[in-house]
Structure 1
């Protein structure tokens, strides 16, 4: 077990009130390795990552890269999820975009997404033609070992185990926060965050 998670558990650090806050999550499929700052240090174009970070600043939208558990190869399309998690107003929408044309994400109105209005995500005029997501809840397990080794050592096996058990909607995600509470996971559209899962 990793040092930070072991120390946190031994100290009995409380989990309550430590989860990241976001009204809306925008999750972009990006297979392959991720760096510590995944949006700018992965196989996603770093310039695009910086522009997405800038566009999301102050909007209430939290960005993350996702990938299926285990080693996955790049595909011609990437999935994108927008999830609004305000109680009583939650929703998840999904879209597929060409892997070589992720620039279209810059046309999304992130301020509107952060406010719970998914119009730009559902309207192809804004670069993405999304639809309501009707699958099982998304289970996003923090697994970015370059950000914190606790997440790789504890999160990746949890994601693989959930997937092997037949849990649908399981993804590894770049960063949820709370590394010392690894493994951490987020369930969408509910916005439930769990530590020491």
Structure 2
């Protein structure tokens, strides 16, 4: 497979964007996106490409969602999951709502509801209005709330209609996690199929909640390490897209800290801040940034911070969509050039 090293070129011989990204060594770190809230709802498949606009149950909620995000600036990630033969209940809709509990945190707080299908839109509306600090009737849904804060939810994108790579590579990963790992975790792990997560060039891609970490380019032989967290964290480095509690450059620094600190780092309460960055026109990526990651041990025994400098270290050619005739673009790659503990 030969790729011309131009800023934009075409690749005809490859059908899947994720194969191009992986073959060219694109590092997925820093692509997780940032959010303070997740809203995840069961909607049966098939899912069209524009499922949020085309599904009648969801379309009625889009006005409130846009007001929430664009007017009030709430960082909320909406997703859909497919009902599961074992987990789900006929005539009812499951809804997960996760939220950032504090400025420094390690995982999102979880609320899960299983409501009659006819009540699902009203529940979403109540959550939206609460986020906008408007009068709401969320309290009436308490009877449907589930006590599942102890359950880890792994969500794998299999949304073929958005990009072929997600179906082709996400589905086998989903099936293996669902068949082999979920049943052996004593009711503490569920595995779901989800709509588009963003970044299908990293398929198969997965969200790990309540932690809020994103993973990409996953392979079967790393699932043990991902699920059981038994082994060297370095084995997950190349698959880590980042922690959604931080922004892009903060995510890049956080991975480096995690690689040095080991598994305990995931339990530390954390917050990030960009101290300085190159000024660039809107829509362009800066070549450097300086960030600070504050952290606190869960028992309060350690309070400290890291400061890091992130610098561009080259670029690779990547494709953002799968197609018969594929357009490639140059994507900047970054490294941590300095990392110091400051307190």
Q: What TM-score comes out, normalization by structure 2 length?
A: 0.49
Shift of 1:52: 5.0
The structure that is strand-richer by fraction is 2
Contact 2:88 2:94 in 1 (8 A): no
Gaps of 5+ in 2: 1-13, 183-188, 219-343
Instruction: Point out where structure 1 has 5 or more consecutive residues left out of the alignment.
Output: none
Which one of 144, 151, 158 corresponds to residue 159 of structure 2? 144
Q: 1:106 to 1:165 in 2, by over 3 A?
A: closer
Computed over aligned residues only, the root mean square deviation of the Cα atoms, in angstroms, reads: 3.0
Runs of 4 or more consecutive aligned structure 1 residues displaced over 6 Å after TM superposition:
none
Contact 2:64 2:125 in 1 (8 A): no
1:49 to partner: Cα distance: 4.5
Aligned residues: 190
The answer to whether residue 49 in structure 2 is matched with residue 50 in structure 1 is no
User: In 1, Cα distance between the equivalents of 2:89 and 2:76?
Assistant: 26
**Structure 1 residue 180, shift from structure 2 partner:** 0.5
CA offset digits 1:43-78 (Å, max 9, x no partner): x535325235325423111111111468x9982001
Residue 99 of structure 1 corresponds to 117
Show the 5 A alignment for 1:1-197. Answer: 2-42=15-55, 44-51=56-63, 53-57=65-69, 58-68=73-83, 75-85=90-100, 87-88=105-106, 90-110=108-128, 113=131, 123-124=139-140, 129-167=144-182, 168-197=189-218
Distance change >3 Å, CA 61–CA 6, structure 1 → 2: same
Change (3 A) 1:55 1:141: farther
Q: Which has the larger radius of gyration?
A: 2
The 1:4–1:24 alpha-carbon spacing in structure 2 relative to 1, beyond 3 Å, is same
* CA apart distance, 1:121: 9.2
- Aligned to 1:15, the other structure's residue is in SS state coil
Retained in 2: the 8 A contact 1:139–1:186? Answer: yes
